[in-house]
Structure 1
Amino acid sequence: MSINQAMLAALRAISYADPDVSKNYKLMREVKTLTGRRVLKSPYQTLNHEIARCGHTIPVRLFAPGDSFLEKPRGLLLFFHGGGWVTGNIDSYDKVCSSMAKATGQLVLSVDYRLAPEHKFPAGLEDCYCVARELFCGRGVPGIKPEQITLIGDSAGGNLAAAVSLMARDRGEFLPRRQILLYPATASDHSEKSPFPSVRTNGTDYLLTSRRVQEYMDLYKSSDADLTSPYFAPLLANDLSSQPKTLIITAEYDPLRDEGEAYGRALSGAGVETKIVRLASAIHGFIALPPRFVHVKRAYAQINEFLEQGVRV
């Protein structure tokens, strides 16, 4: 399956007008927030809260899978949003999280972690870790047990989910059982020197460009030393043992495709139960499309199958 010519021409036109993230990230945040918010009142319930155990407050938003929090959920998805660690936020992913709760029948807890460049690596990651620790240590959502929690993130959020899992193993405070990584960023080099062909073949014409990924990372890093940290680029980890059961979903026309799949193979090679699914004809960021779109339906079919299988003992 391939993208039709009219769609490809439109994507190329949008990609060609690729703004300099370092100069326009504040405007990009505003645009994402406006387009990500629900226009109509949703029949699904949300609850805003703050986590205040990490030296500062971290806003979170809980989405119910139905019209009431009184209904017993199947579990909880701890969601880390995308946006290159720079432009996404809890409001810009409002529609995504509402749809995710409905599609999975699970509670979704979205984390409004601190953004770069105002707060560089590892600030946002530490926020995500802090919220995860609260949940897994039983100080989060009443009625939700640690084994019912799944980490999930898209793009930069997939990077953060993978990094939280690595950090949790290394610090020994808790250990997630499942993680779902949607088209995750796992490497630190998206230049022409990248070992991954998708950085070049999909790096100019499909909305997210390789140049933009590199600009996001330049804003996210505190120094060049971060580029070699597995918490910055999980694929660099020397040891991927004791990681959660993992589902990785990639998009055919995405510059991050190959590194996401390489991370899945590396996890599998370390003995971690891992499934890699590439969605044909999909582009980066497809999970933000309306639920009726075929790639969104296919992604949630894979996610629900993964969640229903549980963890092998």
Structure 2
Amino acid sequence: MLADPHHLLVLAEDVTSQDVEALAVSRSTDAGWSGPAELQLMPGVHLTGPWTLESDLLRSFDLPAWARQAYLLSCPVQRGAALPAELRGVDPLLDAFPSGVPTGVEAEALGHLRAIARRLRGALRVAGTGAVVVPDADAAIDLTVLAPVWLDHDAGLQVLRQTLPAVRSALDDIPEELAGQELEGYMLLSDLGDGDLLEIEAAGLDEVPTVLRGTDWAAGGVVGYEIRWRPAHPEQAFRGRPPLQVRRSRARAAELIERAAGALQALVGGEVVDDDGFLVDPGDLAG
């Protein structure tokens, strides 16, 4: 039964339980079905459902009109101090807990729910306050190419010069006396104008990402090529609803990130993952 003491993952009609399971196991090695209609996210934390949302429940819970099903989250309640005044309005999920911000297992579980909701264009309904949080699917634009092949600094620079504007090496900003030191990875920068940057960081990973477990090539080591947007005004860009001009800049950065990820993946192989750790089909990236 749906009840106020539980957080809810709210989804549209066309989302299947297999969709939810696939995303859950991408983020946690402990995720999987633990019983009929019971999906474990991690030890002691599970979702039950899906539960059908009738029209009267949509109204009483103030849910979006597209909502047709929900999963109920069972997890320990762990709260910290009240949300500081200077952080209000930055994160809609934290705003839903004004008297005590989730910590520990509860915070981690809500992180899983938000990631799943963002990918499936769903929502969360928070226990207690009843706040409904609809993650912005267009806000998480960073991508990472996970590959078996190491592309050296000069080769990476050459590939991305065909895709990104004004791309350069971060070594250009390092003092001359430090530039000769051996580095474990490297970073490239692309100037987007108005102070915005893209950072491309290449490094070997210490552990195989969860989403790649069971992949044969990953057992031999994984190289990560992270492509991240660094806006000139992060306090505006990463708040709940950025100004229109910032959203336009973000959309332009997102297209460039997709092109860069596609160019790298075409050369080094492997997989592309989004900022929540979910696989992205290279065929869906901007060309």
TM bin, normalised by shorter chain, reads under 0.3
TM-score normalised by L of structure 1: 0.26
TM-score normalised by L of structure 2: 0.27
Q: Larger helix proportion, structure 1 or 2?
A: 1
Q: Larger strand proportion, structure 1 or 2?
A: 2
Question: Between Structure 1 and Structure 2, whose CA radius of gyration is higher?
Answer: 2
